[in-house]
Homo-oligomer: A and B are copies of this chain.
Amino acid sequence: MKTIRSRFALLATAIAGLAGAQAQDPLPSWNDTAPKHAIVAFVGKVTKEGSADFVPPAERIATFDNDGTLWCEKPLPVQIFFILDRVRALAPQHPEWKDREPFASLLKGDLQGSLSGGEPALLEMLAATHAGMTTEEFEKIVKDWIATAKHPATKRLFTGMVYQPMLELLAYLRANGFKTFIVSGGGVEFMRAFAEKTYGIPPEQVVGSSGKLQFEMKDGKPALIKLPALNFNDDKEGKPIGIQTYIGRRPIAAFGNSDGDLQMLQWTGAGSGPRFALYVHHTDAVREFAYDRHDPDQKLDKGLDEAAAKGWTVVNMKDDWKNIFPAAP
């Protein structure tokens, strides 16, 4: 009897252990393919005390692009939907927009027409919607908008269009002593309004593009006014510059999805000691979108070549990710 009981106890322990091990898979939405192996191997070696590849926790900086790396950027980056919605919301205060491009087309419902002016058109709408208020007013506008704004195709909240495997990766890195940063071409104050709740990344770990600010007294209280002038463009060569200026330490791991992230991955990869660079390659037209070398807006072309040449990790979304988005609420 005693022996049977002991055996049963052993078996129960073994089963609990297995269940525990499964429950503890930190990356359950990643298939058991090369990218997951590469991530786990990298984290394992840099956290192993006494090993030649050990990196002290303070130096475990990981930087992530946002659009297309942490959340969906198609059919348009989320911040562009925000700009378009804001133009519509502000139109009653700007009767002159009815006759002025790029506003006129947009207000007639012609989105493509409004964007046909390219970057200058977009910059004009950016200035019209991102300046002329205090930083606190802007934060509230973004928070109110992002709480209800939905993706045009899936009708899910934009904050539900985040990549579940990347949420798991962020949590896994943090659990291993990494400090996770966003380094994105998106507006820093736009992203900070939701990054903490959505990604667990606090405002002070968000690096992005920004407009100039002006300090002034408003009704006897200090205020920061958003001006319609560019302060910093955090894209391409701007990404390593943003990293150096804002973080002041070279990352040991960097994650992107387009040629706009190439310089960040180069800068990260060129440091001494163990380094990790990963591209998310959008290959799943069924579950998400498929685009790369010939995409007019978010091109991944030179990056694919350099990844192959340097041995960087490339996630093939279709094959390497079990789930793309979180389960619907």
- Residues in A lying within 8 Å of B, measured CB to CB: 58, 61, 135, 179, 181, 188-189, 192, 196, 202-206, 210, 213-215, 221-222, 224, 231, 237-238, 240-241, 244-249, 263, 266-267, 270
Contact = CB atoms under 8 A, between A and B. Distances in A.
A235 to B, nearest CB: 12
Contacts of A214: 237, 241
A246 B135 contact: no
B249 A224 contact: no
B245 A213 contact: yes
A247 B204 contact: yes
Given A61-B204, A203-B249, A213-B241, 11 more contacts: A188-B248, A203-B247, A204-B204, A204-B249, A210-B245, A214-B241, A215-B267, A222-B263, A222-B267, A222-B270, A224-B240
Given A213-B245, A244-B135, A204 B222 contact: no
Given A58-B196, A196-B58, A224 B204 contact: no
A285 to B, nearest CB: 33
A204 B246 contact: yes
A215 B240 contact: yes
Given A203-B249, A246-B204, A240 B222 contact: yes
Given A58-B196, A222-B263, A248 B203 contact: yes
A184 to B, nearest CB: 13
A294 B237 CA distance: 45
A137 to B, nearest CB: 13
B237 A202 contact: no
29 contacts: A58-B196, A58-B202, A61-B204, A179-B204, A181-B204, A189-B248, A202-B249, A203-B247, A203-B248, A204-B246, A204-B247, A204-B248, A204-B249, A210-B245, A213-B241, A213-B244, A214-B237, A214-B241, A215-B237, A215-B238, A215-B241, A215-B263, A215-B267, A222-B266, A222-B270, A224-B240, A224-B241, A224-B244, A231-B245
Contacts of A202: 58, 249
Contacts of A189: 248
Contacts of A221: 270
A238 B224 CA distance: 11
B245 A192 contact: no
A135 B246 CA distance: 13
A125 to B, nearest CB: 22
Contacts of A215: 237-238, 240-241, 263, 267
A249 B214 CA distance: 16
Contacts of A181: 204
A183 to B, nearest CB: 12
A214 B206 CA distance: 21
